[in-house]
């Protein structure tokens, strides 16, 4: 089993171009299942073969996950990892029957994404002061809200990815898919000030990262989250505002102001339009709230 899992992981890395974090999640999910199957079969994991795992065992595993009171999203992700693994084995002739074919995933909970109202987003991006790190933070927050890029995409940005003269940036998204995202004039101005006047005094060595930490190295995902937490506290916003909530706000505000769904899909880098459609539910929720708040008979 270990050899087959190693081959599958190599396939995800080299052929599917999945990110390191995504590959780690697949690996963790598969190892979680291996321990369960080995205990049911009463054999060491090293002696297990892919053909030992049948539909009955997979249903037992699903029941086991549900008994652990894991969230529906976690259960669905674990099963999706095994589904992808067995599909890989079947396509490569390692197994001749796929035990996942008849297994139905549990329905996932529909959660609306958290977002900021336009006034809250404005307060957040305007919160940093004019100190060197404050200017960096303002450029960072302005860029997140101006583009809706993921935090992983933000920290991976290098100087050649920005073209401020033509007001766009190049983003390498999930699956190493490249997209071009436009920038509005205010974001360009803030970024230009940071890059020309602030970053040279912060950066160390030949670091090409757009955003650097106080030591001069590339800013991390965790560093961005700390920055957002700091300014959320400063302006009195909820502490659970994540970088992804700013991405949600970007999409929601575009739709609120008349953008079409297909354009928002392209800007966010979503492969499927159905992923973007959740934001239409957010705008409907906002309309209901406004209606109930302001209609005299609501």
- Active-site residue list: 150, 174, 244, 247, 270, 279
Residue 180 φ then ψ, to 5°: -105, 130
Contacts of residue 196, defined as CB under 8 A and 6 or more positions apart, other chains included, come to: none
Question: Whole-angstrom Cα distance, residue 9 to residue 241?
Answer: 33
The three-class DSSP label of residue 277 is coil
Q: The tokens of 252 are what?
A: 């929601």
Question: Whole-angstrom Cα distance, residue 249 to residue 115?
Answer: 5
Tell me how far CA of residue 131 lies from CA of 10, 13, 136, 137, 198, in angstroms: 45, 41, 9, 10, 9
Residues constituting the chain? 298
The sign of the torsion formed by the CA atoms of 71, 75, 77, 78 equals positive
């Amino acid at each position: 089993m270990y050899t087959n899992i190693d081959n599958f992981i190599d396939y995800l890395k080299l052929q599917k171009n999945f990110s390191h974090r995504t590959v780690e999640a697949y690996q963790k999910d598969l190892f979680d299942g291996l321990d369960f199957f080995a205990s049911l079969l009463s054999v060491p994991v090293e002696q297990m073969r892919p053909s030992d795992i049948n539909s009955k065992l997979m249903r037992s595993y699903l029941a086991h996950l549900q008994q652990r009171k894991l969230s529906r999203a976690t259960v669905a992700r674990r099963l999706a990892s095994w589904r992808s693994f067995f599909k890989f084995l079947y396509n490569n002739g390692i197994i001749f029957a796929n035990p996942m074919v008849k297994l139905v995933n549990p329905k996932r909970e529909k959660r609306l994404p958290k977002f900021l109202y336009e006034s809250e987003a404005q307060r957040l991006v305007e919160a940093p002061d004019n100190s060197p790190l404050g200017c960096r933070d303002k450029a960072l927050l302005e860029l997140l809200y101006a583009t809706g890029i993921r935090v992983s995409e933000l920290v991976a940005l290098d100087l050649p990815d920005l073209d401020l003269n033509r007001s766009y940036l190049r983003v390498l998204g999930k699956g190493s898919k490249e997209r071009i995202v436009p920038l509005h004039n205010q974001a360009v101005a803030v970024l230009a000030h940071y890059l020309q006047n602030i970053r040279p005094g912060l950066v160390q060595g030949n670091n090409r990262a757009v955003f650097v930490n106080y030591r001069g190295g590339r800013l991390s995902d965790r560093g961005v989250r700390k920055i957002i937490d700091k300014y959320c506290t400063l302006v009195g916003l909820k502490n659970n505002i994540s970088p992804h909530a700013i991405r949600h706000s970007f999409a929601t505000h575009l739709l609120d102001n008349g953008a079409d769904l297909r354009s928002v899909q392209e800007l966010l880098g979503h492969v499927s339009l159905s992923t973007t459609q959740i934001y239409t539910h957010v705008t409907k929720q906002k309309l209901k709230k406004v209606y109930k708040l302001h209609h005299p008979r609501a």
